[in-house]
Amino acid sequence: MNTRGMSTTLETPDTREVRPATGRRRSARPGTWRHALRRDWQLYSLVILPLLFFLIFRYAPMLGNVIAFRKFEPGGSIFGETWVGLRYVEMFLNDPTFWTVFTNTLILGGLTLLFCFPLPIVLALLLNEVRNRSIKRFLQSVSYLPHFLSMVIVAAMVMQMLAIDGPINQIVKALGGEATPFIQKPEWFRTIFVSSEVWQTVGWGTILYLAALTTIDEHLYEAARMDGASRWRQIWHVTLPGIRPTAITLLILNLGTFMATGFEKVLLLYNPLTYPTADVISTYLYRMGVESSSMSYAAAIGLFEALVGVVLIVSANFISRRTVGTGLW
């Protein structure tokens, strides 16, 4: 990916704006690096530490991915010792567990997207219809709350809710069923994961939609009413188009995190009994790399995962620019 090429697409007229001429500007030929450095060296000095952060903790690991093609020795160079080519790639392509976790990743990511993307829109539309301001504020405060919890706490709560003696099993028993150890059952994992994800994120997801809703011109609704549009028609023809840019931006962002869906939560909630449905690429590579110390093998899987993620986000952005004219860049 060419940084320069992308920067030109980012440049909107206002970023080209030049600061009004001050006395200092005349000291060197404007537009040269020497001039810029002389004038703004104090500004540049401020970026040194943050740039070091990005180089060490973000870009060095990107380069570190070469260990996917090199044999890594514990205690040796972080870039590996000897080239082994695509050995590790072939290894995971022939690894049946890899295909299981790949499928699980797609299913879990797909289900999460299917529920966690549209439900905030629905909730925002419902909240938007609440006319009493203080009730509305109360509803919003309550719905944001789970967002502020640590994943550990969410996982602990999920386990408490689903425990043999927990509330869900009380309901099951009240309805005449048998108490089930849900956390131990692979067939329940996806339901548990997605519903807890909804619980945690749906309220927070409404914020941007509610903001977008307030920007829709009241006159559009009036005009629609004049034309005899029912409430549903108004939602369909005025409200939904009004929040479309927001929805598309969030959809692209969701697609970008698709491959990494719920890594922390899966890691906290799964156990060997539920691996058949719960184990995803990121948890598998965690076990391979950190627990079994097969760094190169795990890095190869991780690189594959990241590349799929990039392809998803770039193509989503491309499609959205082509079809609706907005994108992240």
Partner 1 sequence: MVTTVKSRGYRVFQGINAVILTGVVIVTLYPFVNIIARSFSDERYIVSGQVNFFPRGFNVKTYQLVISDPMFWTNYRNTVVYTVVATAIAMVLTTCYAYVLSKKHLKGRTVLIWVAIFTMIFSGGLIPQYVLVNSLGLTNSIWAIVLPNAISVFNLLVMKAFFEGLPQDLEEAAAIDGLNTYGILWRIVLPLSKAVIATMVLFYAVSFWNSWFTAFLYLNEQELFPVTIYLRNLIAGATGAESAGAVMSEVSAAAANIQAVTIMLTVLPILAVYPFVQRYFVSGVMLGAVKG
CA angle 45, 47, 53 (to 5 degrees): 130
Restricting to residues 181-240, name those near partner 1 by CB under 8 A.
Answer: 181, 183-184, 199, 203-204, 207-208, 211, 225, 230-231
Stretch binding partner 1 (CB under 8 A), from 88-96, 109-117, 122-130, 236-244: 122-130
Provide the minimum distance between the beta carbon of 58 and partner 1 in the complex, in angstroms, as a whole number: 4
Supply 96's token pair: 């049946």
Q: Which residue, 49 or 322, is less far from partner 1 as judged by CB?
A: 49
Supply 49's token pair: 């530490």
Q: Is 273 in the site for partner 1 (CB under 8 A)?
A: yes
Residues in the chain: 329
Question: DSSP assignment, residue 288?
Answer: I
Using the rule CB under 8 A, which residue among 28, 65, 84, 308 binds partner 1?
Answer: 65
Q: Are 299 and 289 in contact (CB under 8 A)?
A: yes
Using the rule CB under 8 A, which residue among 43, 86, 93, 324 binds partner 1?
Answer: 43
Provide the minimum distance between the beta carbon of 107 and partner 1 in the complex, in angstroms, as a whole number: 21
Supply 14's token pair: 């206002």
Gap between the Cα atoms of 303 and 300, Å rounded? 5
Q: Which residue, 131 or 322, is less far from partner 1 as judged by CB?
A: 131
Tokens 């109360």 correspond to 138
Q: Which of 185, 198, 181 is nearest to 262 (CA)?
A: 198
Helix axes 244-256, 186-214, angle to 10 degrees: 150
Stretch binding partner 1 (CB under 8 A), from 44-52, 91-99, 236-244, 318-326: 44-52
Provide the mask over 123-162, with x wherever binding to partner 1 is found by CB under 8 A and - wherever it is not.
x--xx-xx--------x-xxxxxx-xxxxxx-xxx-xxx-
In the chain, the N- to C-terminal Cα span, in Å, equals 13
Q: Which residue, 100 or 257, is less far from partner 1 as judged by CB?
A: 257
Provide the mask over 159-178, with x wherever binding to partner 1 is found by CB under 8 A and - wherever it is not.
xxx-xxxxx-xx--x-----
Provide the minimum distance between the beta carbon of 306 and partner 1 in the complex, in angstroms, as a whole number: 5
Helix axes 118-128, 96-116, angle to 10 degrees: 10
Gap between the Cα atoms of 150 and 127, Å rounded? 26
Q: Is 112 in the site for partner 1 (CB under 8 A)?
A: no
Applying CB under 8 A, what is the total number of residues that bind partner 1?
110
Q: Is 69 in the site for partner 1 (CB under 8 A)?
A: no
